[in-house]
A and B are shown apart, each in its own frame.
Chain A
Amino acid sequence: MTAATASAKNALLTWPRPASPDPAGQPLLEFRQVSKIYGTGTAAMRALDGVDLRIGPGEFVAVMGPSGSGKSTAMNILGCLDTPSAGSYLFRGVAVETLSHDQRARLRRHYLGFVFQGFNLLNRTSALENVELPLIYRRAPRTERHARARAALAQVGLTGWEGHTPGELSGGQQQRVAIARAIVTEPSLLLADEPTGNLDTARSHEVMELLVGLNRDQGITVLMVTHEAEMAAYAHRIIHFRDGRVADDGHAGGPV
């Protein structure tokens, strides 16, 4: 390992995040021939098939593609929740697959916010406590934790719903709690798997405005999976997946 990659690796694991800007020209995320294979032998399923991808800091990217084309698989690997079967994933120049379990957990803690396609909220736990949870692991003091969680819920339009558990919330409301939980930590990279999948058009536009705002004002890099061209239009760049490969990677027309 070179001295440069060693220090890049150390930087990933220290908190607070180093203030130094990313080295010029270095992508924030890079996929080098990443493949993900589920199952073995004849039953083997190539969910990702040699994907190359570079995403720079501060980008707002939409990921589109038919169902089963590997979008969620790619997002999970990008979110360090899963590891590629082959190829390399570099986060700020550090190969994630070389990191230990614990180091990947720290990377997630320091940099990432993740909105799952299936929300993944804790049952029987109030919206406020769900949103607070990432802050507990980041050792935020109690009062700060409450204030930030309330603010995040307000940002997604859930003021007044803090005490409700997921079972008492609609699908759209649960989705917004999941978004609040991902943004409450002010991550430097926000990965959102169909964040507007359960929302009506008006709510979807509100959420998109929120993401655009986070991207523009706080410089958060946003990667978002969507099926709706209308939402993808908010992004600067749209990546199309087909059969586990990147079929098209082009720049969108910008916000409508």
Chain B
Amino acid sequence: MLWNALLLAFREIRRNVLRSFLTILGVVIGVASVIVMVTLGNGATRAVATQIESMGSNLLMIRKGQHMGPGQTSSAPAFDLEDTVALERDIPAIKSLAPSATDSITAVVGNASWATSVNGTDNRFFSVRNWTLERGRLFSASELSGGRAACVIGATVRKELFGPQDPIGSNLRLKQISCEVIGLLAGKGQSSMGHDQDDLVVMPLRTFQRRIAGNQDVTLIQVSIRDGESTERAKTDIERLLRERRKVAAGEQDNFSVRDMKEVATMLTGTTQVLTTLLSAVAAVSLLVGGIGIMNIMLVSVTERTREIGIRLAIGALEREVLMQFLVEAVALSSLGGVLGILLALGASIGLADILKVPFVFNGGIVLTAFLFSAAVGVIFGYFPARRAARLDPIEALRRE
């Protein structure tokens, strides 16, 4: 019975290449689009989450002025090292903090030059921001206190200025100073805001202040909060302390800002989750459209094939033999379409994940759902109309056209 059904079904598939192809195509598109969208959506969410972890959790960024966007300057006074000492002493929730001053400078090595962001800070910067060294070392105590020109560079700077060469021990020209590369940071990749985190040069704060900035300013203080402590509370405490130290009168606005990276993080993950939901909705629609396509082809084909069903019944087929044939046909086409759709989707997802720089996150559930949905549509709409036709008297079926 099954063998016969297989034989008959495959003859039919071969006989109707175009129709079979269209059915398969409907399933392929439905399955592939859903899988690709959900996979990429999950990948993006995962990417943001990893990003935020790599930035350092429980991170607070203290800047001078308010609402400082890129390119904006503020007349508010900068911080100094006294501020950082006071913060560490008076606020127990602070685990560690790193004062820094930054500037955009073109770094030159031989003929190569690269505009990058130079960060004057100390070794705490690396732990606060979760940086790890790929090779070399961090600053020594004498380098930090003596204001020596030593620097640690990010992966992008290394790539642009040194190529494949080992940068350790070479010198980097920053404006008028020459600075020895002592360490190379492990790459973190693009941040979720599209900013290249590896594009930086780090040097001792004192060196930066004396030889590049020419002042004692600290423009940014990055603070990490102890695990289990409330960042909200710590933020309020810091604000109170800084208002006092910077003599901001009651009722006056802060002349600095404390940004909680957790807030930013939550906002970003929220955004990608909304995006994933949106993508999934689009995917669901395309699955539905694919399903309607399959349904359409199946319905049209069964109407067309009512005469064929009549012929089969007239020459000795039983109702269930006709049905088995249609079922095998529908299952074979839907499964083939499903498998092709899955293969296509996996290929496309891996490729797109690579291009979009998001991790490839395999979701077996969605693969199965998409496959079962399309297969079910194919089978249901191939089987039920055929069942109606196979229950007719053969002459009735033969008359329909």
With a cutoff of 8 Å between Cβ atoms, the chain A residues found around residue B320 in the complex are 102
Q: Are A120 and B316 within 8 A (Cβ)?
A: no
Q: Which residues of chain A from 93 to 125 have a CB within 8 Å of any chain B CB? A: 101-102, 105-106, 108-109, 112, 114, 116, 120-122, 124-125
CB of A134 within 8 Å of the partner chain: yes
Q: Are A134 and B393 within 8 A (Cβ)?
A: no
Q: Which residues of chain A from 58 to 86 have a CB within 8 Å of any chain B CB? A: 76, 79, 81-83
Q: Are B16 and A136 within 8 A (Cβ)?
A: no
With a cutoff of 8 Å between Cβ atoms, the chain A residues found around residue B16 in the complex are 124
Q: Are B311 and A105 within 8 A (Cβ)?
A: no
Q: Are B313 and A120 within 8 A (Cβ)?
A: no
With a cutoff of 8 Å between Cβ atoms, the chain B residues found around residue A125 in the complex are 11, 15
Q: Are A76 and B319 within 8 A (Cβ)?
A: no
CB of B308 within 8 Å of the partner chain: yes
The contact of B316 among A121, A124, A185, by CB within 8 Å, is: A185
CB distance from B117 to the nearest CB of A (A): 70
Q: Are B315 and A137 within 8 A (Cβ)?
A: yes
CA distance in complex: A181, B316 (Å): 11
With a cutoff of 8 Å between Cβ atoms, the chain B residues found around residue A108 in the complex are 313-316, 394
CB of B386 within 8 Å of the partner chain: no
Contact A102:B319 (CB < 8 A) given known A81-B394, A136-B7, A137-B4: yes
CB of A151 within 8 Å of the partner chain: no
Q: Are B393 and A105 within 8 A (Cβ)?
A: no
Q: Are A120 and B311 within 8 A (Cβ)?
A: yes
Per-residue contact bits, chain B 1-26, to A (CB 8 Å; 1 contact, 0 not):
00010011001000110000000000
Q: Are A105 and B11 within 8 A (Cβ)?
A: no
CB distance from A182 to the nearest CB of B (A): 8
The contact of A105 among B4, B7, B313, B398, by CB within 8 Å, is: B313
CB of B237 within 8 Å of the partner chain: no
CA distance in complex: A129, B313 (Å): 16
Contact A120:B11 (CB < 8 A) given known A106-B318, A137-B4, A137-B316: no
CA distance in complex: A129, B320 (Å): 21
CB distance from B388 to the nearest CB of A (A): 13
A136 nearest in chain B by CB position: B4
Per-residue contact bits, chain B 319-353, to A (CB 8 Å; 1 contact, 0 not):
11100000000000000000000000000000000
Of A105, A112, A114, most buried by chain B (CB within 10 Å of CB) is: A105
Q: Are A120 and B7 within 8 A (Cβ)?
A: no
With a cutoff of 8 Å between Cβ atoms, the chain B residues found around residue A120 in the complex are 307, 310-311, 314, 398
The contact of B315 among A82, A83, A114, A139, by CB within 8 Å, is: A114
CB distance from A101 to the nearest CB of B (A): 6
Q: Are A133 and B319 within 8 A (Cβ)?
A: no
CB of A164 within 8 Å of the partner chain: no
CB distance from A252 to the nearest CB of B (A): 29
Cβ-closest 5 pairs across A and B = A109-B316, A82-B395, A81-B395, A81-B394, A134-B315
16 examples of A-B residue contacts, CB within 8 angstroms: A101-B391, A102-B318, A105-B316, A105-B317, A105-B319, A108-B314, A108-B315, A109-B316, A109-B318, A120-B310, A120-B311, A125-B11, A137-B316, A137-B321, A181-B315, A185-B316
Residues of A within 8 A of B (CB): 76, 79, 81-83, 101-102, 105-106, 108-109, 112, 114, 116, 120-122, 124-125, 129, 133-134, 136-139, 181, 185
Residues of B within 8 A of A (CB): 4, 7-8, 11, 15-16, 307-308, 310-321, 391, 393-396, 398
Known: A129-B11, A136-B4, A137-B312. 16 other contacts (CB 8 A): A79-B314, A81-B393, A83-B393, A101-B319, A102-B318, A105-B316, A105-B318, A108-B314, A108-B315, A114-B315, A120-B398, A122-B15, A122-B311, A134-B315, A136-B8, A137-B321
